[in-house]
Amino acid sequence: MNRQTPVLVSLSRTKEILVIGLPIVGGMISNVLLGLIDTAMVGTLGDAALGAVGLSSFAAFIYLGMVYGFSIAVQATVSRRRGEKRDAECGVPLQGAIITVAIVAPICSGILYAAIPALFPLINSDPEVVALGVDYIRWLILQAVFVGFIAANTGFWNGLGRSRVYIPSLILMHLSNILFNYMLIFGKFGAPALGAEGAGLATALSSVVGSLLFLRLGLKFGRPYGFLASRPTIAEIRAILRLAIPAGLQQVFDTAALTATYSIVGMVGTRELACYSVLVNFIGLVGLPAWGLGTAGVTLVGNALGERNPVEAARWAWDVIKLGVVGMFILGMPFWLFPEAILSIWIHDPETRALAVTPTRILGIMIAFNGIGYMMATFLNGAGDVKRVTWINLVTQWCVLVPGAFLFGPYLGFGLLGIWSLHQFGYRAGNSIIFAMIWRKGKWSKIVI
């Protein structure tokens, strides 16, 4: 298969990528800004609260990551059906995902809610971090059924190439989270001042708001695509699960590895843990072109494969990467040019802030290269090559990232800078090279969904 593409992306193809990708980026900007605003609010409570919220968010995603797998599975299936001109069947994978989440999530959430006080101390030994983290993470666990509903719906609209339809709902959901945060963290408008726990409750309440908004959206615009029109068969639910389970495990393994890294950073110190929480949020901001345009690329690749045109699918992937790299380079510039000014917004202690300056510069420099790996993995998932991506992530996370973080951090004494350097130059850069090589071999083009 000829995979050569022009150096530049044509205006028509750029427009098609941006029509799908920019609304996704816009939605992700609101999500990232929410996380940063959340972090800034919690940061006023001190380093322990900041570290507890950051650690709890990753620990919760070990569980919530499974439901996010339905977003990947639904988008991959819907985009393929669109390419096959089977629009009326696009609602079937969404309904299969919703039914599965509605049955499984409440049971699992109840079990984890009861077990959290015993499990959380295993990932951090600081009593203050544990006390704050348990109260926060329990609310995140309880929202799983709503998170799954929202994830499946975003996958549905992304797969249709109509991402702009749900952006207003997503922004309203995030604005409600900010309002709930303000009320429940600081005790405004008659609400109790719950501190870090209030941030968790605010997140859970906003996911309920988001679910209602997405349900309204589907009823209004989703009928031509089979939204809630027919009950999926057992075979159709199994087909979604074949993609959703390994896709969810990717999220779980990734988050488990980062949570383990959080725990290792906590061994170095609470200041370092607070810095790491902010740095991880920065990745979400600077990597927006990779996340948003990569998701758009899944739709374009899936449509081309549905049309039985793997050459065009490969070309779409490389065009998306060209645009994504340019975007990440531009967004990364302030982080290596003005790290102290940026950090001062979220880290108020001068000594803590000083620890994060060099890691922030590294992030700004490396993000354009490391984002390639994320986009390539996303395309492979969209083509149905989910199991191989899962195995590669598992090996690199648990054979490189986690043991390397312990080696360079607390064991050899390089601290936060040693851990972050491994994260950027070893783990992320290595994944970019591996996934690019796999994509060029082209085996993904023969997978049937």
| pLDDT one-digit tens code per residue, 28-69 | 776 666 666 777 787 778 878 877 887 787 788 888 888 888
Residue type, 12: S
Which two structure tokens, joined as six digits, stand for 324?
A: 């994504």
Q: What is the 3-state secondary structure (H, E, C) of the chain?
A: CCCCCCCCCCHHHHHHHHHHHHHHHHHHHHHHHHHHHHHHHHHCCCHHHHHHHHHHHHHHHHHHHHHHHHHHHHHHHHHHHHHCCCHHHCHHHHHHHHHHHHHHHHHHHHHHHHHHHHHHHHCCCCHHHHHHHHHHHHHHHHCHHHHHHHHHHHHHHHHCCCHHHCHHHHHHHHHHHHHHHHHHHHCCCCCCCCCHHHHHHHHHHHHHHHHHHHHHHHHHHCHHHCCCCCCCCHHHHHHHHHHHHHHHHHHHHHHHHHHHHHHHHHHHCHHHHHHHHHHHHHHHHHCHHHHHHHHHHHHHHHHHHHCCCHHHHHHHHHHHHHHHHHHHHHHHHHHHHCHHHHHCCCCCCHHHHHHHHHHHHHHHHHHHHHHHHHHHHHHHHHCCCHHHHHHHHHHHHHHHHHHHHHHHHHHCCCHHHHHHHHHHHHHHHHHHHHHHHHHHHCHHHHCCC
Confidence (pLDDT) at 286: 79
- The predicted model gives 215-226 an average pLDDT of 92
What are the tokens at 4? 């050569």
Q: Is the pLDDT assigned to residue 163 strictly greater than 80?
A: yes
Q: What is the pLDDT of residues 268-302, one digit of tens each?
A: 988 898 888 888 878 877 777 788 888 889 999 99
Q: What is the largest CA-CA distance in the chain?
A: 64
Q: Is pLDDT of 424 > 60?
A: yes
Provide the pLDDT for residue 36.
64
Cα 386 from Cα 1, distance rounded (Å): 21
Q: Residues 6 or more apart from 100 whose CB is under 8 A from it? A: 70, 237, 240, 241, 244
Closest CA to 385 of 443, 320, 339, 321: 443
Q: Give me the pLDDT at residue 5, please.
A: 56
Question: What percent of the chain clears pLDDT 70, i.e. is strictly above it?
Answer: 97
Mean pLDDT in the chain?
Answer: 88
pLDDT of residue 290: 83
What token pair was written down for 286?
């600077």
pLDDT(213) > 50: yes
Task: Write down the pLDDT at residue 285.
Answer: 74
Rounded distance between C-alpha atoms, residue 103 and residue 241, angstroms: 14
Which tokens go with 352? 């803590």
Whole-angstrom distance, CA of residue 278 vs CA of residue 40: 9
- pTM equals 0.80
Res 102: pLDDT: 94
Task: Write the CB contacts of 87 (distance below 8 Å, at least 6 apart in sequence).
Answer: 81, 224, 225, 226
d(CA 7, CA 325): 13
Q: One-letter amino acid identity for 396?
A: T
Q: Is the pLDDT of residue 114 over 80?
A: yes
Overall average pLDDT of the 301-309 stretch = 91
Q: Which residue has the higher pLDDT, 339 or 231?
A: 339
pLDDT value of residue 379: 92
The dihedral through the CA atoms of 368, 276, 136, 103 has a sign that is positive
pLDDT for the residue 33: 67
Mean pLDDT of the 150-156 span: 94
Letter for the amino acid at 365? I
Question: Taken in order 371, 373, 374, 378, is the CA torsion positive or negative?
Answer: positive
Asked whether residue 2 carries a pLDDT value surpassing 50, the answer given is no
